[in-house]
Amino acid sequence: MIIFQNETNYQIEQQSVFKITRDLGLLFDYFYRGDTNVIMGEISRQLMLHGYNSIFGWEHYKKEEKDEERIRIGKRIKEIRSEKGYDAKTLACLTGIDAANLCRIEAGKYSVGFDTLTKIAKVCGKKLDFVNTDDENECTVNLCLQ
């Protein structure tokens, strides 16, 4: 939020709240099919994709850290794909992932979900591994060479 020493701050805050409320409403209308479990997962995913990272408890995870992790995972997927001799279109076809989305994942522009990551690992003959870091509350995902 931009802070001003007058009423402009209030106006900007109100505009932000309106935009978030409008976007949440649009997401709900688009994805709701009667199952609240599905909708909240999809809404959370869409909110993250559109930069609303602090909603639903993501405040502790800085945007820069998420960007770095997304880029790291995307680069690793691209490395493994290249090692296997696959082009992006081939890997997309073998995994059932949209080729454009795979390219965005590899470029670090899209976050990759666990199910998609599992498909990629399986097709490439790799194993997913969760590795603890120095911080006991932090965990990272590795695509192993096994």
The pLDDT, as a whole number, for residue 67 is: 81
The pLDDT, as a whole number, for residue 31 is: 74
Q: What pTM was computed for the model? A: 0.52
Is the model more confident about 49 or about 117?
117
d(C-alpha 142, C-alpha 12), whole Å: 41
From residue 97, alpha-carbon distances to 12, 66, 116, 117 in Å are 39, 22, 8, 10
Is the model more confident about 114 or about 84?
84
Per-residue model confidence as pLDDT tens digits over 57-83 = 544 445 667 788 888 889 989 999 999
The pLDDT, as a whole number, for residue 107 is: 93
Length of the chain: 146
Mean pLDDT of the 105-131 span: 85
The pLDDT, as a whole number, for residue 75 is: 92
Indicate the pLDDT class of residue 142, thresholds 50, 70 and 90: low
In the chain, which residue ranges form alpha helices assigned H by DSSP?
Answer: 8-31, 36-49, 63-83, 88-95, 99-106, 114-123
d(C-alpha 50, C-alpha 55), whole Å: 11
Residue with tokens 């691209």: 78
Is the model more confident about 81 or about 111?
81
